[in-house]
Amino acid sequence: MELWFSEPHTPDVKLSIRVDKQLYSGESDLQRIDVFESPELGRFLVLDGYVMLTEKDEFIYHEMIVHVPMAVHPCVKRVLVIGAGDGGVVRELTRYPEIEYIDLVEIDQQVIQVCRDYLPRTACKLDDERVYIHYEDGLKFVRTREDEYDLIIVDSTDPFGPGEGLFTKEFYGNCYKALREDGIMVNQHESPFYEADATACMRAHKRIVESFPISRVYQAHIPTYPSGHWLFGFASKRYHPVRDLDAARWDERGLETKYYTTRLHMGAFCLPAYVEKLL
């Protein structure tokens, strides 16, 4: 018998992935957590029925959410990561020796445990000595911080359920306060393609525009997310994401990447006409 996992992307469109076996299934206090093994996409993590990552394409998301701000800011030492219990963001960040510490704020302890157990490729750097894990609501955590971080990365779920608060004006305002005078905030911004997602994404974008002097949107192609066309928000107090990109400095590091390049970085901020119109 064939086993398939399906995620509805709209009431009329689904993504289906053939599954070899289910490695984990459980309920935390906050959500349902599943991990499957699949022939085409490797292992994949599902929260409340939505695919969070697959081993085959997570590099795209994690490289784009980390290397874009890291190639712009001249010296990142203190980083706050919200969500991201799978460890993918932390894995990419720990490749930068100048980073002194990373506060990882994940609301669901069980997500981290399941990822440690079943997704070693993303969870592999969660024990790095610079990483401090806080099991807290990111919304509350940022309220208590001021003028501390060079970079905040918001790796949330979709804008409903446990991640909802991470798309609010209050949250973005507190992130602004928690950043130092030249800090950058990057967040995952959903897809512009299907109407319901696009509406959520535009609402969030408007709130960011109101909270930060510089705010731009960039894109990547992530095959397993709804429509495959994914956006990220870049919000900043001082640096412009393209004019302040120091490509020579980043290229000199010699970091090996599978998706991100400084050439692609510049193009990623050029958006399709229909997306420009939405913003």
d(CA 178, CA 51): 30
Smaller CB distance to ligand AG3: residue 17 or 84?
84
Query: Does the protein bind ligand AG3 through residue 90 (CB under 6 A)?
Result: no
Query: Does the protein bind ligand AG3 through residue 88 (CB under 6 A)?
Result: yes
Q: Are 216 and 252 in contact (CB under 8 A)?
A: no
**Residue numbers 171-210 binding ligand AG3 by CB under 6 A:** 188
- Going from the C-alpha of 114 to that of each of 10, 23, 25, 35, 131, the distances in angstroms are 28, 10, 9, 8, 18
Tokens 């609501």 identify what position?
Answer: 137
CB of 113 to ligand AG3, least distance (A): 16
Smaller CB distance to ligand AG3: residue 94 or 157?
157
Query: Does the protein bind ligand AG3 through residue 225 (CB under 6 A)?
Result: yes
| Three-class SS state of 14 | strand
Q: Which of 108, 137, 155, 197 is catalytic?
A: 155
d(CA 62, CA 74): 20
Query: Does the protein bind ligand AG3 through residue 84 (CB under 6 A)?
Result: yes
d(CA 207, CA 170): 9
Among 41, 51, 71, 99, binds ligand AG3 (CB under 6 A): 51
Q: Are 19 and 38 in contact (CB under 8 A)?
A: yes
d(CA 218, CA 207): 16
Pinpoint the alpha helices (H) of the chain.
58-72, 88-93, 109-118, 120-123, 138-143, 169-178, 195-211, 247-253, 262-268, 273-278
Q: Which stretch binds ligand AG3 (CB under 6 A): 66-74, 80-88, 141-149, 270-278?
A: 80-88
**Residue 228 exposed, middle or buried by CB count within 10 Å (0-12, 13-18, 19+):** middle
CB of 263 to ligand AG3, least distance (A): 24
d(CA 37, CA 19): 6
Tokens, residue 226: 């709804």
Query: Does the protein bind ligand AG3 through residue 162 (CB under 6 A)?
Result: no
Query: Does the protein bind ligand AG3 through residue 50 (CB under 6 A)?
Result: yes
Smaller CB distance to ligand AG3: residue 226 or 241?
226
# residues near ligand AG3 by CB under 6 A: 15
The verdict on whether 244 is a catalytic residue reads no
Query: Does the protein bind ligand AG3 through residue 158 (CB under 6 A)?
Result: yes
> What does the per-residue mask of binding to ligand AG3 show for 117-156, with x meaning CB under 6 A?
--------------------------------------x-
Tokens, residue 108: 């669901």
Smaller CB distance to ligand AG3: residue 192 or 226?
226
Q: Which stretch binds ligand AG3 (CB under 6 A): 67-75, 82-90, 138-146, 171-179?
A: 82-90
Catalytic residue numbers? 155
Q: Give the residues lining the site for ligand AG3 (CB under 6 A).
A: 7, 50-53, 61, 84, 86, 88, 155, 157-158, 188, 225-226
